[in-house]
Amino acid sequence: MSFINYASREINCKIVYYGPGLGGKTTNLQYVYERTNPQNKGQLISLATETDRTLFFDFLPLDLGSVRGFRTRFHLYTVPGQVFYDASRKLILKGVDGVIFVADSQEARMDANQESLDNLKHNLRENGFDLGLIPYALQFNKRDLAGAVPYDVMLRALQIKGEPTFEAVAPKGIGVFETLKAVAKQVLQELSKK
Amino acid sequence: MTMFGSNLVLYEEEFDRINAVLARLWMDANAKIVFLVDKNGQQIAAKGDLDKVDATSLASLTAGNVAATDGLAKLIGEKEFSILFHEGERDNIHISIVGQRLILVLIFDERSSLGLVRLRVRKAAAELEEVLTQMASKAADQGEAPASPFAEITDDDIDALFTE
């Protein structure tokens, strides 16, 4: 649910990183934070446990400059991936404009990917959204690990509607901006239809 | 603006009215900062010593806080907790829900008091609700929202955003 302020000529959109625990959602955000000019970003807020697991959300505001005379801001959020934080995940999806699903390429995490994807569909529905319609991109993270599940296999298992997919190594930044850009683009295109 | 529809759209006239209400509340309540945020964490308007805080983070965390508290309310069978109050050593934060969709945040110190804040917030909230209602009826009168400024957005426009 983007917020368009005609008075101050600003537009704000919300993008949520979703996916199983320890899949690299926060790492994606950290990389975006590190690689963005100071004048284009706000603080990276992490509500995390003492062991650096996301407890409620991470938040990063990005200022992308102007489109058609409107200052364009994206608010990036991650959800906590661990299964038992479901109530929090549902809250963070409120008013979302676009979703990035960060899947873990390890064989042992394929069930967790699937479970999290089902959970995303369900929680979007609870918030009045449809994964089939909302701007969406799929990222296969941790491609550098030995024994990563082949790309085709992951695609077949996780792609749901021909959404753009990206192979990523989040700590090195591979695929990080590409994924973000793909969703941001869909969000702005969505706005142009209204 | 559609009340609970898709996007929140704010025009000059309502923006000015909202700013006027916040400015008055800021004075009357002796507050340091007054803030209006929507429930999704987007800042709508603000008044006061904004240089000293990270306004965007404040907006997002406030919305997170309200969302979590809403979740708690539902768990115990309440509709919502319409007022939240956080007391600090120096500064305090008073948070209230306006018209089910907006969050009014007030930061104040010992130069004000909780009683005064509550009194002034109640009045301001009623005025803000009036603005909201007016916006809703205006939106209903107009039917469809005016053409989006993004209607002619091109791929190049979007690419240009990411050429850092």
Hey, is the C-beta of A65 within 8 angstroms of any chain B C-beta?
yes
Confidence (pLDDT) at A192: 79
Query: Between the CA of residue A35 and those of A41, A116, A138, A181, A187, what are the distances in Å?
Result: 10, 28, 21, 14, 22
At residue B113 the predicted structure's pLDDT band, cuts being 50, 70 and 90, is: very high
At residue B3 the predicted structure's pLDDT band, cuts being 50, 70 and 90, is: very low
- Contacts by B65-71, CB closer than 8 A, 24 or more apart: B65/B95, B66/B39, B66/B95, B66/B97, B66/B103, B67/A91, B67/A92, B67/A94, B67/B39, B68/A56, B68/A88, B68/A91, B70/A91, B71/A87, B71/A88, B71/A91
Percent of chain A with pLDDT over 90: 70
Write the ipTM: 0.76
Residue range B50-96, pLDDT digits in tens = 888 888 889 989 999 998 998 899 899 999 898 999 999 999 999 99
Q: Between chains, do B160 and A56 touch, taking CB under 8 Å as contact?
A: no
Instruction: Tell me the shortest Cα–Cα distance from B40 to chain A, in angstroms.
Output: 6
Hey, is the C-beta of B56 within 8 angstroms of any chain A C-beta?
yes
Enumerate the β-bridge partners of residue B48: B33
Contact criterion met (CB below 8 Å) for B31 and B106: yes
User: Which residues form the domain of A41?
Assistant: 3-193
At residue B23 the predicted structure's pLDDT band, cuts being 50, 70 and 90, is: very high
Hey, is the C-beta of A71 within 8 angstroms of any chain B C-beta?
no
Confidence (pLDDT) at B7: 63
Of all residues in chain A, the one with the smallest CA distance to B149 is A68
Hey, is the C-beta of B76 within 8 angstroms of any chain A C-beta?
no
Q: Which of B6, B54, B153 sits opposite A67 (nearest CB)?
A: B153
Confidence (pLDDT) at A14: 94
Contact criterion met (CB below 8 Å) for A20 and A117: no
Residue B96 CB neighbour total at 10 angstroms? 22
pLDDT at A171 over 90: yes
Confidence (pLDDT) at A194: 65
Please state the rounded mean pLDDT for residues B9-37: 93
Q: Between chains, do A192 and B60 touch, taking CB under 8 Å as contact?
A: no
Least confident of A19-28, A110-119, A152-161, B71-80: B71-80
At residue A125 the predicted structure's pLDDT band, cuts being 50, 70 and 90, is: very high
R_g of chain A computed on alpha carbons: 16
At residue B4 the predicted structure's pLDDT band, cuts being 50, 70 and 90, is: very low
Q: Contacts of residue A62 in chain B, CB cutoff 8 Å? A: none
Number of domains in chain A: 1
* Fold adopted by B12-161: Beta-Lactamase (3.30.450)
Q: Nearest CA to B34 among B99, B125, B110?
A: B125
What lies within 8 Å, CB to CB, of B85 at 6+ separation is B92, B93, B94, B95, B114
Residue range A20-39, pLDDT digits in tens = 999 999 999 999 999 998 88
At residue B2 the predicted structure's pLDDT band, cuts being 50, 70 and 90, is: very low
Hey, is the C-beta of B152 within 8 angstroms of any chain A C-beta?
yes
> In which region does residue A162 sit, left (phi positive, over 0), alpha (psi from -120 to 50) or beta (all else)?
left
At residue B5 the predicted structure's pLDDT band, cuts being 50, 70 and 90, is: very low
Confidence (pLDDT) at B159: 75
What lies within 8 Å, CB to CB, of A131 at 6+ separation is A99, A120, A121, A124, A160, A161
Q: Which of A6, A72, A192 sits opposite B11 (nearest CB)?
A: A6
Please state the rounded mean pLDDT for residues B146-164: 71
Contact criterion met (CB below 8 Å) for A136 and A183: yes
Average pLDDT value over all residues in chain A: 93
What b/e sequence results for A164-194 when a residue is b if at least 16 CB atoms lie within 10 Å of its CB, and e otherwise? bbbbbbbeebbbbbbbbbbbbbbbbebbbee
pLDDT at B145 over 60: no
Q: Which of B40, B54, B164 sits opposite A37 (nearest CB)?
A: B164
Q: Between chains, do A67 and B157 touch, taking CB under 8 Å as contact?
A: yes
Please state the rounded mean pLDDT for residues A79-107: 93
pTM of the model as a whole: 0.87
Domain with residue A175: its CATH number is 3.40.50.300
Q: Which of B60, B68, B162 sits opposite A75 (nearest CB)?
A: B60
Residue B87 CB neighbour total at 10 angstroms? 9
Confidence (pLDDT) at A1: 67
Q: Which residue has the higher pLDDT, A11 or A118?
A: A118
Hey, is the C-beta of A75 within 8 angstroms of any chain B C-beta?
yes
Of all residues in chain B, the one with the smallest CA distance to A189 is B153
Confidence (pLDDT) at B114: 95
Q: Which residue has the higher pLDDT, B141 or B36?
A: B36
DSSP sequence for B133-159: HHHHHHHHHH-SPPPPTTTT--HHHHH
Q: What tokens were used for B137?
A: 């009826």
| Total CB pairs under 8 A between chain A and B | 129
pLDDT at B146 over 80: no
Average pLDDT value over all residues in chain B: 86
Q: Taken in order B16, B21, B24, B25, is the CA torsion positive or negative? A: negative
**What is the bridge-based pairing of β-strands A98-104 and A54-67?**
unpaired
Hey, is the C-beta of A129 within 8 angstroms of any chain B C-beta?
no
